[in-house]
């Protein structure tokens, strides 16, 4: 009788340890979800990264997966000498962030260096480049077109923040693990009840 009790307690202990392992695995899988899915990501730019345009654009547009916060948003439009040709304030309309370009900006290679505050409050930043064959395409900030009109956004480079995390597969794995845990518990109870009846 004593041996049977010891076997039962050992069996139940093994089940508890297995369930603890399952819970730890699930927590490890879910840990990156909150961090990775919380940050916004850059989904498009105009001009796009590496593009060569005929004239210097009036406005540089960046599109994000969510609407960024206005606080701390900065966009620099630097030529090869490091001079910043951005003029006026950064504009945010929905999930599009726009920066006007100086009308005196010459043609050449440019690097757009951006920093925005994600909708979750965390800053994200990145960089992309384009080439303008000729300058003089910019307008004064008061004449800058509405960023909602003909944004022409195209797929851009990824931001330095983490991208969208594949939540679906993780939730599917969680459901499978929980189902297995329930099956193990049910089998364990049946075995214990069966031994007690003997």
Q: 38 has which bridge partners?
A: none
Query: Is a pLDDT exceeding 50 seen at residue 84?
Result: yes
Task: Give the predicted TM-score (pTM) of the model.
Answer: 0.54
The span from the CA of 105 to the CA of 194, in Å, is 84
pLDDT digits (tens, 9 = 90+) for 31-78: 444 444 457 899 999 999 999 999 999 999 999 999 998 888 999 999
Report yes or no: 93 and 74 within 8 Å, Cβ to Cβ.
no
- For the segment 120-145, the average pLDDT, to the nearest whole number, is 74
pLDDT digits (tens, 9 = 90+) for 147-160: 444 444 444 454 44
- Of residues 171 and 158, the one with the higher pLDDT is 171
Which run of H or of E encompasses 98? strand 96-101
Which residue ranges make up each domain of the chain?
A: 39-155, 166-198
Query: Is a pLDDT exceeding 90 seen at residue 182?
Result: no
> Which range, of 8-17, 18-27, 102-111, averages the lowest pLDDT?
18-27
Residue among 68, 42, 51, 56 at smallest CA distance from 158:
42
| CATH of range 39-155; options 2.60.40.1220, 1.10.3470.10, 1.10.8.60, 1.10.10.10 | 2.60.40.1220
């Amino acid at each position: 009788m004593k041996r049977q009790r010891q076997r039962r307690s050992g069996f139940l202990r093994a089940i508890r340890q297995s369930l603890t392992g399952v819970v730890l695995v699930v927590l490890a899988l879910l840990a990156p979800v909150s961090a990775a899915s919380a940050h916004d990501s850059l989904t498009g730019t105009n001009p796009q990264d590496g593009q060569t345009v005929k004239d210097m654009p009036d406005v540089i547009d960046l599109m994000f997966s969510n609407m960024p916060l206005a606080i701390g948003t900065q966009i620099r439009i630097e030529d090869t000498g490091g001079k910043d040709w951005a003029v006026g304030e950064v504009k945010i309309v929905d999930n599009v962030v726009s920066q006007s370009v100086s009308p005196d900006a010459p043609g050449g290679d440019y690097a757009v260096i951006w920093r925005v505050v994600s909708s979750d409050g965390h800053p994200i930043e990145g960089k992309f480049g384009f080439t303008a064959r000729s300058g003089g395409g910019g307008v004064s900030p008061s004449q800058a077109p509405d960023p909602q009109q003909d944004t022409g956004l195209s797929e851009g480079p990824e931001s330095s923040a983490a991208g969208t995390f594949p939540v679906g597969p993780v939730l599917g794995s969680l459901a499978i693990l929980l189902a297995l845990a329930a099956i193990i518990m049910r089998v364990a109870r049946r075995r214990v009840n069966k031994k007690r009846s003997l």
